[in-house]
Structure 1
Amino acid sequence: MSVITTPQLRSLYSKAKRTDLPESYSTEFFTYILGIYFSDRAVWNIAPEVPPTDDPKERKRVDLAVKFFENETYNTKILCFVEAKRASAAPGYLIEGEEQMFTYCHRHCHWNKVPYVYIMMTKGAMARFLIYHRDEDQFRGMFEADDPTSGPNSDQFHDPDTDAGGSYWDAALRTMKTNPNAVPVNQAHEKQHYMGKTQLPKGIIRSKEDPSCLVATVGKN
């Protein structure tokens, strides 16, 4: 199923996928569509230009972050980093961006003592979904069939306007939302955790071989 379902999304999607436009159009598209999935402003916030740590000397910035207000403290926590690249980005540029993101995630998880953080690496209007695990100090794919070691090649980016890609996007974003790395405000009674027992979205099951891995029963591009 395509998740490009409104004229507004269609307009932003069409510009983000053009190779003659800057990556700011990719950022705009992802800001908008993430705002649809994470629409409850009492819980979620889409923030631009986010540093990986709160170190006052920190100079690095990630294009976007999906944040949530933590239960009781109302401090904001990062659910997902989003790094936007233009549709015409060369493979070397994508690899460099992913290597930088690995460093950012390592620093973020150790600084904030969180077990993992989600990542969306984008190319135009397409996205590659990853998870960084602090204890393993490595990326995992969002689902068991994903190969995080293959690098950001074309088949690792999912197009939200195709049946397979849209289904993957929907499953990935709902998995993030229902499996945060801390407890969002107003959700203490239904605490959920990626590595623990949780009510997973439709189309997602746990791997029998490794319960810490999630398996998408939806298609891929």
Structure 2
Amino acid sequence: MLQQLFSPSVLHTLDLIGIFVFAISGALLAVRKNFDVFGIAVLAEVTALGGGLFRDLVIGAVPPAAFTDLGYFVTPLLATGLVFFLHPHVERIQTGVNVFDAAGLGLFCVVGTVKAHDYGLGLTASACLGLTTAVGGGVLRDVLANEVPSLLRWDRDLYAVPAVVGATMVALCIRFDALTPFTSVLAVITAFVLRLCAMRYHWRAPRAWHRRSAVVEE
């Protein structure tokens, strides 16, 4: 189905762009944590490839694309080199990086959902793996950096919710036989715009009703 929606060259290019931007976010966190060059590379690779790798292992697409396409492995290393030498400049364009990160989020939640369904999973499971493809690398990044994953923190702008919306849109389109290049792009754009709005207006998910906690808020 993926090949019917996008040409292989277009899909591959979009994948590499998303991987590169995700890798930059991982490398930047590694720099902030004062990791050495190896640690920076590991965090970049995990952030960029972790979600897709988990998805491929679950659906049985082995060996995963990250191990069969050299470009998937090399691209995070390029991001590592860029951040290692130019991290002060990259930090200054963090807003731009966040915009591309939002675009990668939208792309990966859609591609992940479609690929999971292509391998025979049901709609709900496919949408869950679409979400995992989009946010899984970020979760692994935060865990390795000894931080609470961003998507679990109440004080962070919505990240997983836009991916859930995008993946759900794709699942519904598959259910009603309406998945086309147009509706796929629409799902990507919807997730992308929701993430941008969350960053712009600081949208956050609600916490427990009538919450009572002794935990000190940061």
Question: Would you tell me which structure has more strand in proportion to its own residues?
Answer: 1
TM-score by length of 1: 0.29
Larger Rg: 2
Greater relative CO (CA pairs within 8 A, separation 6+):
2
**TM-score, normalised to structure 2's length?**
0.30
